[in-house]
Each structure stands twice: as C-alpha cells, then as structure tokens.
Amino acid sequence: MELYGAWLENKIDFNGRRRYSSVSIWLPDDRFALEGEKLEREGCKLLAECILRPNAKNGAFDAEITRLMRTELIDSIDSVINDKRSLAGYRGAKIAYEGEPASELIQGTHEQAEQVTPESAYKAYRRMLERGHIEIYASGRSDFAESEKILSEVFTGIDRGKGGEICSLCAKPSALKPQPRYVTENFPMQQAITRMYFKAPDMDDRFANVLLGMILGGMTTSRFFENIREKQSLCYYCSSVTHRLSKELLVYSGIEPQNAERTQAAVFAEIDDVCRNGVTEEELERAKLEVIDGIPAVYDTVGGIANWYMGQLHDEEYITPEEYVEKIRAVTAERVRAVCKMYSPDTIFTLSGEEAGE
C-alpha cells in the first residue's frame, strides 16, 4: 500500500520448451510519487526480500503454508484433468514430446505434489537459486541503474558454483518420430478433440513459419476455418499454431467422434495443397496484416515489453517489435511453401467419446 498499490506476482510457465519460475513486481514510476518516494528502489528491495528471505526456518518452509500450497497445487492439476481441452493437450503432449520436458504438466503430477514436504520444497527453492539460470528483465522509463545495483549485490551473496547454464535440451527442436504415431483415447464425453503434431527439426525460417500457421488455421479467413469448418462442416473449430523453438506445427480441432478421420484427412489435404501449390498473395497479405496488427500491443504494458524480450532468450540476438514487423513484411509466398514442405506428421492424438484404442 505504501508503494501505491505495487503488484507482486509469482508464476510457473513454459518459455518455449523451458519451464521457468518468475517473481515480478509492477509499480508506478518515481515521477508519480506524491511525496518524492523512491518507488523503484523500495520496490526492488521488496522483490529481493520476497525472493531471498522467504518464510522458512532451519531448512524448511512453514508447515501449514506448505500444506495449503500443496492443496492448491493439487487442485490446479485437477482443473487441467477436468477440462477436456486441457486434458487433450496434456495427453497429446505426453505422446508427442515423450522424454522431453514439455511432456509433463507445468504443475507436475498428483503423486509429485502429494510428496512435497516443507523440507523438499525448500531444497528445490535453494537449488533454483544456486543452480538455475537467472534472467532479470526490467522495462519502463527508468535506466534501472539502482535496481541493477541492488540485485547485483543481493545475488553476489549466493554461492552459485557452476550453475546457471540453460538446459541444452530445452533449446533444441522437438525430436521427430521415425513413423507418425496415431493414438485415440476413450473418455466419458459427448464430443472429441483431435490434436495433430507436425515437426520440422531442420526448419530455420521462423518468420515464414509464423505466417504458415496463420494461413492454415490462425485466423478467421484461414484454410482450416473456411474449407474444413465452413464448407465441409466437419468440426466445431479447427485451428493451428506454430512454435518456433520446438519447430512444430500444432493443429487442434473439436469434432464429433465419427468425423475424426475425415477431419484429419482434410487437414492433411490442406497441408499437402500448400506443399504442392503454395499460397496465394492474397492469403499471404492477410496473414501479414493479422500478425503485424497485433505487434503494437507489445507496448500496451511494461510487462508486455519484458515478455517480448524474455521470449527471445534462446535466439542469437534480440530484435525489437519494429524489426520483427519488417522481417514479417519481407516473407514471400515461396518461403511459406518451403517451410510447409519441411513438416512431417509426428503424432495424431484424439480424445474421443467413443470406445477406441491405439
């Protein structure tokens, strides 16, 4: 309250294929302080205290708080399992990314959550501080010299040994299976959800890849929407997204169980058509506009700016939103076609209301 409603947040998520835990603080710039308070300095100290001085004694977190957080974690895992789309994503990922970090829920499993103790949680916390790769992002009007000084002093006091390396596995594309795997799992539900994973481990044209995902199923004028949903009425929705770090194209659709194979065949047909005949200039321009129109939103919040650069951690260099727009504008139809030809089916997963097996 003394920092004008500063907002502290902690979360776990995926950045590409790498799990991360973040602690963040948002607060007004010093120039808005009514009494000349140094908000950045005080906020940075508060953030450092939250990270480095948790409610713990003798190598263990508070037992009651740990119990409450364990219950909350288990509830979070249950919420994924009880939501059909999330469940399909989880079950499909276990097959598509077998042996990779992305094959598991961010929250972990029931069994892992139930085994957490005040001591094991504290040990994991210390391992992150001492061995984890740490990135510090700051965005706003300040030069953040004072924040850098405070946090440098704070982390200097931690013995980090040889830690801090980014997991090499997380920076690699997802491995393509020798043969595509088709799996259908039965679940008590009325409809079905199909997730189709295509991988291109050698693909290096990230900008053409973005536009390919938009043209196939990333906008309301996409091929999947117009040809599979509208013209053939095979699904409730059929969309696609590309992931540049794992170098994959994910197609996901909601369908009636009896339409699963026809929908999958229709998806294959659209991808094959792009490979053989390419995309039209009209499709390309619509996709470019769709992508470019969303870029200015990066500047809507300081968090958006930080997230923009955090998402480029594994890249050889950081690029600004403006540079990104120019690279998107430069993509040709032939580049989109070339990227599409590099993709191969890896996993076709269906969560279905009908009885079916692998």
Rounded to 5 degrees, what angle do the CA atoms 47, 52, 56 make? 120
Residue 185 has phi, psi (to 5 degrees) of -115, 135
What is the distance, to the nearest Å, from the Cα of residue 333 to the centroid of all Cα atoms in its chain? 27
DSSP code of residue 191: S
Other C-beta atoms within 10 Å of 269: how many?
12
Q: What would the two tokens of residue 298 be?
A: 């990066």
Residue with tokens 């959550």: 113
Read off the amino acid at residue 222. Answer: S
The pTM assigned to this predicted structure is 0.88
DSSP code of residue 284: H
What is the distance, to the nearest Å, from the Cα of residue 142 to the centroid of all Cα atoms in its chain? 28
- pLDDT at residue 165 in the model: 59
- pLDDT at residue 223 in the model: 97
Give bridge partners of residue 240 from the DSSP assignment: 251
Which of the four pLDDT bands, split at 50, 70 and 90, describes residue 134? confident
Q: How far apart are CA 168 and CA 100, in angstroms?
A: 11
First to last CA, the chain: 56
Read off the amino acid at residue 191. Answer: Q
- pLDDT at residue 356 in the model: 43
Residue with more model confidence, 163 or 219: 219
Residue 150's Cβ-side half-sphere holds a number of Cα atoms within 13 Å equal to 16
Statement: residue 55 has pLDDT above 60: yes
Task: Write the CB contacts of 143 (distance below 8 Å, at least 6 apart in sequence).
Answer: none
- pLDDT at residue 20 in the model: 80
Q: What is the pLDDT of residues 17-53, one digit of tens each?
A: 667 888 999 989 999 998 899 999 999 999 999 999 9
Are 261 and 289 a contacting pair, CB within 8 Å? no
Residue 141 has phi, psi (to 5 degrees) of -85, -20
Statement: residue 162 has pLDDT above 70: no
Q: How far apart are CA 285 and CA 262, in angstroms?
A: 30
Are 5 and 26 a contacting pair, CB within 8 Å? no
Percent of the chain scoring above 70 in pLDDT: 94
Angle, in degrees to the nearest 10, between helices 63-82 and 118-131: 80
Statement: residue 117 has pLDDT above 90: yes
What is the pLDDT averaged over residues 7-12? Answer: 87
Statement: residue 123 has pLDDT above 70: yes
Residue of 157, 158, 91, 99 lying closest to 127 (CA atoms): 158
Angle, in degrees to the nearest 10, between helices 321-329 and 206-217: 70
Q: How far apart are CA 162 and CA 157, in angstroms?
A: 15
Q: What is the pLDDT of residues 300-350, one digit of tens each?
A: 988 899 989 988 887 778 999 999 999 999 999 999 999 999 999 999 999
The strand order across the sheet containing 192-199 reads: 181-186, 344-352, 192-199, 248-255, 237-243
Average pLDDT, the chain: 91
- From residue 57, how far is each of 26, 65, 129, 157 by CA, in Å? 28, 13, 17, 19
DSSP code of residue 250: E
Q: What is the pLDDT of residues 238-247, one digit of tens each?
A: 999 999 888 9
Q: Give start and end residues of each alpha helix (H) in 53-104.
A: 63-82, 84-96
- pLDDT at residue 357 in the model: 43
Which of the four pLDDT bands, split at 50, 70 and 90, describes residue 62? very high
Q: What is the pLDDT of residues 240-299, one digit of tens each?
A: 999 988 899 999 999 999 999 999 999 999 999 999 999 999 999 999 999 999 999 999
Are 293 and 256 a contacting pair, CB within 8 Å? no
Q: What would the two tokens of residue 154 be?
A: 């704070």
What is the pLDDT averaged over residues 126-146? Answer: 90
- pLDDT at residue 11 in the model: 85
Are 8 and 23 a contacting pair, CB within 8 Å? yes
What is the pLDDT averaged over residues 84-111? Answer: 90
